[in-house]
Structure 1
């Protein structure tokens, strides 16, 4: 079986999945690889895991180019992903207009599902927000931390807590059955992260890798990006 190997942040899992059939029809290749916290995935690339394409935050992709692990000339922006709140399907949505609202919502939750607070983009940001709001210690025992946002959302979907919520990147919420996007974080607490794709320096399927990057970033895929939770760069 012909496969293209990717390492990707969890934010792009839904988008890649939605384009997999078109990619196979075009190239004859299936897409294989791993999705998870970007820090952990980058470490796998550094460790020599066979990789054709990476999809990480644009900042991290640039760093990997400086390290000689991806080709600078191949880097292409996909779109921005906002950090957002999630609730279980069937639970009432939350209205969060400002930092004060967010603080109240977080304090009212009896379980808060988040991705890795040290290796994932959203998890690191959530930890900062909790500290900035002055409630990190108060909610520490309610945090349910998982390796990545997708796993955190899967556990939120089946949570037996009375009033749980989740906080991760919107793309991971949208792509998880059983949870519902309940709005992005308010502007003063928000984070919109640009994601980019790039060709790994030691790719073994270069033409197919280039085709996947072109597919992920093409105007024809704009609807797929939007459905997956990516927003176009406004700059």
Structure 2
């Protein structure tokens, strides 16, 4: 039996699992016109600072590892110091792909880390409710991710011609954090990289080795900032949420 599964079965349910949050923030931001989206201002502070505040405030997360590009190590390290965060363990240089970057972050986690929560640096509006639910679920089953039902009808097309219309009731937009047993995701990512597998997200790494991923409730406000329009929407959502 795999070591991660043995741990899962033996875990004392009254004891909270040690969880390390790995924050990939090493992208090229090409769809943002070359600007580093994680350093753009959202509500007077950088996007990444909102993200780290949410993770730092989560009682179920014990430490945070930020993974970024080599040229951003200094500004992001400074941002972490200025933010007054208490759970930042390290800021490390990522790799050539997201999977490689995430794996480097996982390898920086403390030895006692049982769970790894992988959360996009450009998802600054993640709520405590989303964080709590997905971490709890991963603690129970080994792999979990928040998701929301898709709102639009989805068409599958080839060469601009519609081939089929999937049943919308079965379609979900998956968000982050995606949370896994530490040994499971470490092994799955290493295997995917070794085999040159194309991964669309971190769940894909464990799915391809036969592991089931449980979905928990996501939040439509937990958007990923990718384009300039996303930043405008995030500003509006931040203002709206602060008025609630």
Q: Name the TM tier (shorter chain).
A: under 0.3
Higher helix share: 1
Bigger relative contact order, structure 1 or 2 (CA pairs below 8 A, ≥6 apart): 1
Scaled by the length of structure 2, what TM-score is found? 0.25
Scaled by the length of structure 1, what TM-score is found? 0.26
